[in-house]
Each structure stands twice: as structure tokens, then as C-alpha cells.
Amino acid sequence: MMKIFFYKTILIAFVFFITFKLTVGSLINQTESKIKDLTSKETVEIIKMKIRKEMQNAIDKDDYLNDDDAVLINKFLRKIRSELE
């Protein structure tokens, strides 16, 4: 009787382990792979180039913000200054 219980317990643990590895384990592996891709030297250089390009585009523009956004940001900054004082 105890022998059957032991075998069933081992079988259930094994099935649980395999199921876990196939589901959650694969998600973890995919996430780790994406993180490694993002931190690779080539990807970092590509991101830096894109940021530089966007910064240059922003500098070349005459107006950064439209009037509504400028008013909203100005009010927000005034509120922050008043809270800091």
C-alpha cells in the first residue's frame, strides 16, 4: 500500500515538474532571451543612434510643444514649485 502511494507521489511530482518547465519555464527563457538581446552591445548602439536622431529632430523643429501642451506643462511646473517651497 505504501509502495503504491510512493510511486503515485513521484509520478505526480514528475508530471508537475514537466508541466511547469513546459509552461512557466519557457516563458522565463523567452524573457531572459529578450533581456539579453536588449543588453547586447549592438542593440545598445542602435538605441543610442535612434535617441541621437530623435534629439536632432527635436532641435531642428521650431516649436517643441503646441500651445495647449505648453500651458498645461507650465501650470504643472508652477504647482510643483509651490509645493517645494
Which amino acid, residue 68? D
Contact between 25 and 31 under an 8 Å Cβ cutoff? The reply is no
C-alpha distance from residue 5 to each of 2, 11, 12 (Å): 5, 10, 10
Could you tell me if 72 and 78 are in contact, meaning their C-beta atoms sit under 8 angstroms apart? no
Contact, 52 vs 46, CB < 8 A? no
pTM: 0.42
Question: What's the pLDDT tens digit per position in 23-41?
Answer: 888 889 889 888 888 788 8
Rounded CA-CA distance 6/43 in Å is 51
What's the pLDDT band for 13 if we cut at 50, 70, 90? very high
